[in-house]
Each structure stands twice: as C-alpha cells, then as structure tokens.
Amino acid sequence: MTLLPDHLLAGYRQFVEGRYLAETQRYRALARDGQSPETMVIACCDSRAAPETIFGAGAGELFVVRNVANLVPPYHPDGDFHGTSAALEFAVQALRVRHIVVMGHGRCGGIKAALDTEAAPLSPGDFIGKWMSIVEPVARSIAGNELMTSAERQTALERISIRTSIANLRSFPYVAAREAAGDLTLHGAWFDISTAELWAMDAETGDFQRPLVDVDEGASAPDGAEAPGEAVLQSAG
Ligand SMILES: [Zn+2]
C-alpha cells in the first residue's frame, strides 16, 4: 500500500535535504515563536500560480488563502460556512498583517467559467456557479461585449474581478478600519503564466501596470527550462 504518491515523497525528500536543511534554524524559530507574516495573499487554486513561488517567499513570510478565481465575497456574517472570510478575519484580527494582495492570473479557469454563461454545472450542487456569482453582473456585461475578442474578455474579467475583490475586502468592518488608520494596505496583482509577467494595480486609478523590477533576462535557465525571452516569443506565436 502506498501512503502517498511517489512524486510527493520525492518532492518531500528534496525539501528536507534542501530547503529545510539550509533553513533549519528558521523553521525551529517559527515553530517556537509562532508566525508573524506581514502579508496576506488571496490567490487562485490554479496549480500554475503559486504565490510562494512567484514571490520567492520562505516559510513564515506569506499568509495565503487560495480559492477558485481568487475572489473575496462580500462581508456576510450569516452563520454559514465562509472559508475565505475566516482566513481574512484571522489574518487581519489575529496576525495583524500590514498588506493584503489579491492576485489574479492569466488563463484562469474560474473566470473562463464565469464568462461561459451557457455551460452546464460540473455537478448538481454547482458550487462553482454559486461562488463565481460574486462577479456575475460584470461577467454578464463583459460576456455580451461583441467588440472584444474572447482573450480580451478573459483578461478584462480577470482584472475587474481583482478590483471587485478589493472592494469586497473593504466591506469587512475591521479591514476598512485598519485601512483608514493607515495600518493596512490593499493591493491588486495579476500574473501571466507563460511569460511570468507580474502586473500590479495602481491604487488610485485601478489600472494595471508592470512594476519596475530589475530582472536579469540573460540569467541561465536550469536544464530543460526556456529562458524568459524565448517564453515570450512562443506565447506570441
Ligand atoms: Zn484561476
């Protein structure tokens, strides 16, 4: 009997022999003193857009909640099960994070589903449909826009949903209060999987732009990986 799939055990071994060995003291200190991350990231479940990988974060640095399409629901204390709201409450009220980043990404399956108004639910309970209804009004207006290509509609909704989630964050009274007091800053980000481009939202205008990061495009890629420049060319073609 296999307790866990072999590829997971191989990855675990790599972790213990690599990162854990190099950072043992850090892990022990985090265990002893508890976590105090400065940043919460709300990201998609998508396996290609892991925040810890994209931001090069180690243990204890990011408090992450991932859900379908990185959405924040509106504040709705109705006694129901609210996983994302629970994580948010803990991050803000207990950990007192100073930054919350809502990070969307290109080719998001949840966003694609929201734009496909004809699609049948994956199962009768339709959890995805209910969840994506957080952005339903805007999804419907974008889905009906004949002037946009399907790729343009997809990117537009990916970015508008980030702004919607940030607006919903502010519907939580403690988020709004800590932001007003200058103790908390809300950010939007969008990651393009194929080119690794990171776009950040301008808090004033809501526009997305690429932050200036000094990236060495000539850095040698590990065996089997494409250099960043090649990846850009391939995605364009
Ligand atoms: Zn996604």
pLDDT tens-digit series, residues 148-182: 999 999 999 999 999 999 999 999 999 999 999 99
172 Cα to the center of ligand 1, angstroms: 23
131 Cα to the center of ligand 1, angstroms: 13
d(CA 116, CA 29): 48
64 Cα to the center of ligand 1, angstroms: 15
Cα–Cα nearest to 109, from 149, 167, 65, 161: 161
Query: Phi, psi at residue 141, to the nearest 5°?
Result: -70, -35
Q: pLDDT class for 231, splitting at 50, 70, 90? A: very low
Q: Are 175 and 169 within 8 A, CB to CB?
A: yes
72 Cα to the center of ligand 1, angstroms: 13
C-alpha 54, offset from chain centre:
10
- Judge whether residue 225 has pLDDT over 60: no
d(CA 231, CA 111): 24
The whole-number average pLDDT for the span 91-98 is 98
Sign of the CA dihedral 80, 81, 85, 86? Answer: positive
66 Cα to the center of ligand 1, angstroms: 9
Pairing of strands 198-201, 208-209: antiparallel
Q: What confidence score (pLDDT) does residue 57 get?
A: 97
234 Cα to the center of ligand 1, angstroms: 22
- The fold adopted by the segment(s) 34-210 is Beta-carbonic Anhydrase; Chain A (3.40.1050)
The whole-number average pLDDT for the span 206-222 is 80
Residues forming a β-bridge with 185: 99
Average pLDDT value for the chain: 91
71 Cα to the center of ligand 1, angstroms: 10
d(CA 20, CA 14): 9
d(CA 43, CA 170): 17
108 Cα to the center of ligand 1, angstroms: 4
**Percent share of the chain, pLDDT over 90:** 83
Determine the 3-state secondary structure of 82 from DSSP. coil
Residue type, 209: Q
Lowest mean pLDDT across 25-29, 158-162, 169-173, 216-220: 216-220
The whole-number average pLDDT for the span 61-84 is 97
104 Cα to the center of ligand 1, angstroms: 7
Q: Are 140 and 121 within 8 A, CB to CB?
A: no
162 Cα to the center of ligand 1, angstroms: 11
45 is in an annotated binding site: no
44 is in an annotated binding site: yes
Burial letters 162-180, b for 16+ CB under 10 A, else e: bbbbbebbeebeebeebbe
Q: What confidence score (pLDDT) does residue 97 get?
A: 98
Segment 43-52, tens digit of pLDDT: 999 999 999 9
105 is in an annotated binding site: yes
23 Cα to the center of ligand 1, angstroms: 31
